[in-house]
Structure 1
Amino acid sequence: MGPLEIDASYEGYESELRDAVHEVARDVVRPAGREIDRMRPDEVRELDHDKGVYADAMDAMHEVVPRSAFLPEEFGGDGMSGREFHTVMEELGWGSSGIAMGFAVDIMPPLFATLSFDDELRESYVEPFLSGELDHQGCWGVTEPAHGSETLQAESLLKEGNEDIAPPQVTARKEGDGYVINGAKAPWVSAGPLATHCALHVDVDASEGSHGGLAVVPLDAEGAERGTAIDKMGQRDCPQGDVSFNEVRIPDRNMVLGPDALHPDTGYVSFDQILCVTSCGVAAVSTGLARAAFEEALAYAREREQGGTPIAEHQTVKKKLYDMFEKVETARAYSRRVCEHVWDRTLESFEFDASHRHAVAGQVYCKRTAFEVAHDAVQIHGGNGITRDYPIEKMFRDARVKLIEDGTLDVLALESAEGIIDEYSI
């Protein structure tokens, strides 16, 4: 089952985990993804996080990978390792990259809540989440309508007098024993239309200078509103929409990372360390998508005959299949290693000094690989590859979306390049 594993240490529980998740990805996640992908826009907008096909897929995934798996043991979780995380997300990405992303963002609000090191927030939110008592679908609110490639909450860009950079559009002001949030995020919030809680990036008291903060916001709070799912080309099985806030009040403890969020032992959890964690997830899911496209092409090439032989025996196709295999294997090797590194430096040691340039490079490489492999897979399918009768048509659209999701390749590459130029030791 699955790819040939050449790492001799990859055995026992890890291989059992892979097989269990793969079974769910094959039998539940992929069929659910295809069903949602074929829905009309109005049907997608009626999806619910706690009933229906989307909820059934989430429940099936949580049967083999409980929500507690992703949180550190120090906070009541199971302390899943970086390699185990990669295994889970690769297999789910193989099944459906869209549903896999919905599964990934679900953990974002409670994960960030643990990083606040606040006992009261852990008791009121994280523990009910872990026990399953809390009705929950998480989302991650980052992108804003006026901010695309600009780096949000970068003081050097938002300094007074810089008229070229749009001001922050979601802000929080301190008021009494809490914060009041206003503004709206762009309609690219994954699982936003279904979400119950949001890990929200805000600017805190922006009038006094840009101070990036991150708040955990329950979306049933007065003044919070979820937008409807947008109609899009790919990853339609991960509904996306805007989330907006009109005088939404949260207690102090829900501003989990703010100007004063300095843990005495670990220091400030900077935005680039958050991106290290999210880059791991995107890289692993993209690896799974690339592998799925390769396997569809390989299976098709073995069966499809032209000139009296399977096209897998034709030299041009044979070479293309090799190139695809090489890309998938290198993407897995690199993204797995990055996951191990980031988990070690963030969710295991709590040092928060993971290599941002390596994590971003992993995301860029794996997203590019997914698209290139899906592109070649469509070519091997020929005319059949552009019909909805074959899974590769959806995979190609999903892979195209990956080139933009979580940051475009060029912008992410430039961001990583700055770290390389400044920090690479020769």
Structure 2
Amino acid sequence: MSTDTKLYSTTNEHEELRQAVRRLADEKIAPYAAEVDENERYPQEAHDALVKAGFSAVHIDEKYDGAGGDAIAACIVIEEVARVCASSSLLPAVNKLGSMPIILSASEELKQKVLPSIGRGESSISYGLSEREAGSDAAAMRTKAVKDGDTWVLNGTKAWITQSGISDWYTVMAVTDPEKRANGISAFVVHRDDPGFEVGNKERKMGIKGSPTCELHFTNCVIPEDRIIGEPGTGFKTALRTLDHTRPTIGIQAVGIAQGALEAAIAYVKERKQFRKAIADFQGVQFMIADMGMKVETARQMCYVSAAASERGDANAGFLASAAKCYASDIAMEVTTDAVQLFGGAGYTRDFPVERMMRDAKITQIYEGTNQIQRVVMARALLK
């Protein structure tokens, strides 16, 4: 773990991007957020608006018909959308998660086959790593891939797959050499139309209800041999490298959720009157607001530092990614809970957005590695 961590800088283009995404989020996404959550439906309005504006996958390089945005730009998009609707922020977030293994390790031919449609917003891509009995212990996965002539045949089930059923492409990890455990795992790209591939039923979730989460079933699923990402046996290494790039995006999603809750709380305490004055005039409330703002800003800076480090390939990028994701998601849960408290009884109703934000925040402590696993990763880096 290096002690000379570099920071980051933003440009005028970054600030212009933030203003554009915030305007889009307020006008095209926020009006539907409560109804999307209430009816557990896909936020099609957000999808259409993000695609039309070119914000659905800003991280895709221009050579693959993307915007060519850097890691900071991707974080800005996710943060500003999450501020009004966490479910909608998963559109750009999962596109980055699903495509990063391809960007990092795939052949140029495979990149040309998959990335342009994502860059143009015509397709989306999900990430298939977890299984019911292989969550934190991902190397214990049972999904297998066997070479058969000029094809690969996949059998098994993946669980908790975000945006499943919506995405056209799926990056999937499968065992190709059981004797080698983690070093016997390979990465593949599966298309929704591949024979033997099926999306299971939607999970009934506490939060992010607008983003479908399902199982993926592979029953003698046949894909062309050139859909393997990198060499056989390198899939797990690619998965770990991917998480260094994408854990900051979950952290910044958490920051966006927390920022939205903080803004709602500030507006409410200025208007709500008790004992003949606004509750914002009470020092106890002011201290809560101050602590919430301080923690959100700290988390935000950690996420941007981590995103920049991952793009540079810094030696401590893994530590920073886990730290940013862990801290930001813990803060999001804390800040949204405090926001509900500041709203009092009203905060416990669905008439205000903070209860939804509190429910949405919880998953950020769990997916892309639980915060307990993040602490294991950080400890190993520090003790190394």
TM norm. shorter chain > 0.5? yes
One of 109, 112, 136 as aligned partner of 1:149: 136
1:377 paired with 2:339, answer yes
Hey, what does 1:230 align to over in structure 2? 203
Hey, what does 2:188 align to over in structure 1? 215
How many angstroms apart in 2 are the aligned matches of 1:99 and 1:421?
38
One of 326, 349, 353 as aligned partner of 1:387: 349
Give 3-state SS (helix, strand or coil) of 2:220's partner: strand
- 8 Å contact from structure 1 (residues 149, 411) kept in 2: yes
1:67 deviates by 4.8
1:393 deviates by 1.1
1:89 paired with 2:78, answer yes
1:77 deviates by 3.7
Closer, same or farther in 2 for the Cα pair 1:114/1:148, shift >3 Å? closer
How many angstroms apart in 1 are the aligned matches of 2:31 and 2:322?
31
1:415 deviates by 2.3
1:297 deviates by 0.8
1:251 paired with 2:224, answer yes
1:194 paired with 2:181, answer no
Give 3-state SS (helix, strand or coil) of 1:70's partner: coil
- 8 Å contact from structure 1 (residues 223, 248) kept in 2: yes
Q: Which amino acid aligns with 1:29?
A: I
Closer, same or farther in 2 for the Cα pair 1:9/1:131, shift >3 Å? closer
1:106 paired with 2:95, answer yes
Hey, what does 1:50 align to over in structure 2? none
Hey, what does 2:241 align to over in structure 1? 273
Closer, same or farther in 2 for the Cα pair 1:238/1:206, shift >3 Å? same
Structure 1 gap ranges (5+): 1-6, 48-53, 154-166, 263-267, 346-351
Hey, what does 2:28 align to over in structure 1? 28
Closer, same or farther in 2 for the Cα pair 1:252/1:115, shift >3 Å? farther
Provide the alpha-carbon RMSD of the alignment. 2.4
Hey, what does 1:321 align to over in structure 2? 289
- 8 Å contact from structure 1 (residues 294, 373) kept in 2: yes
One of 339, 350, 361 as aligned partner of 1:399: 361
Q: Which amino acid aligns with 1:145?
A: R
How many angstroms apart in 1 are the aligned matches of 2:304 and 2:118?
27
- 8 Å contact from structure 1 (residues 85, 339) kept in 2: no
- 8 Å contact from structure 1 (residues 276, 354) kept in 2: no
1:140 paired with 2:127, answer yes
How many angstroms apart in 2 are the aligned matches of 1:207 and 1:391?
50
- 8 Å contact from structure 1 (residues 109, 198) kept in 2: yes
Equivalences, count: 377
Residues 234-383 of structure 1: pairs in structure 2 closer than 5 A = 234-259=207-232, 270-345=238-313, 355-383=317-345
How many angstroms apart in 2 are the aligned matches of 1:299 and 1:272?
41
Closer, same or farther in 2 for the Cα pair 1:335/1:108, shift >3 Å? closer
1:172 paired with 2:134, answer no
How many angstroms apart in 1 are the aligned matches of 2:369 and 2:294?
25
| Amino-acid identity (%) | 28
Structure 1, 101-110 or 167-176: larger mean CA deviation: 101-110
1:183 deviates by 0.3
- 8 Å contact from structure 2 (residues 296, 331) kept in 1: yes
How many angstroms apart in 2 are the aligned matches of 1:245 and 1:254?
15
How many angstroms apart in 2 are the aligned matches of 1:103 and 1:149?
24
Q: Which amino acid aligns with 1:315?
A: Q
1:252 deviates by 2.2
- Residues 133-188 of structure 1 show CA distances to partners (whole Å, capped at 9, x for unaligned) of x4x232111110112332x22xxxxxxxxxxxxx52211112212311110012x1
1:19 paired with 2:19, answer yes
Closer, same or farther in 2 for the Cα pair 1:289/1:361, shift >3 Å? same
Hey, what does 2:4 align to over in structure 1? none
Closer, same or farther in 2 for the Cα pair 1:197/1:8, shift >3 Å? closer
- 8 Å contact from structure 2 (residues 269, 278) kept in 1: yes
- 8 Å contact from structure 2 (residues 57, 92) kept in 1: no
Hey, what does 2:3 align to over in structure 1? none
How many angstroms apart in 1 are the aligned matches of 2:330 and 2:234?
35
- 8 Å contact from structure 2 (residues 146, 152) kept in 1: yes
- 8 Å contact from structure 2 (residues 57, 95) kept in 1: no
Hey, what does 2:60 align to over in structure 1? 71
Hey, what does 1:51 align to over in structure 2? none
Hey, what does 1:164 align to over in structure 2? none
Give 3-state SS (helix, strand or coil) of 1:198's partner: strand
Closer, same or farther in 2 for the Cα pair 1:353/1:179, shift >3 Å? farther
1:118 paired with 2:131, answer no
After the TM superposition, list the runs of 4 or more consecutive aligned residues in structure 1 that deviate by more than 4 angstroms.
Answer: 7-11, 73-76, 207-210
- 8 Å contact from structure 1 (residues 102, 190) kept in 2: no
How many angstroms apart in 1 are the aligned matches of 2:85 and 2:201?
22
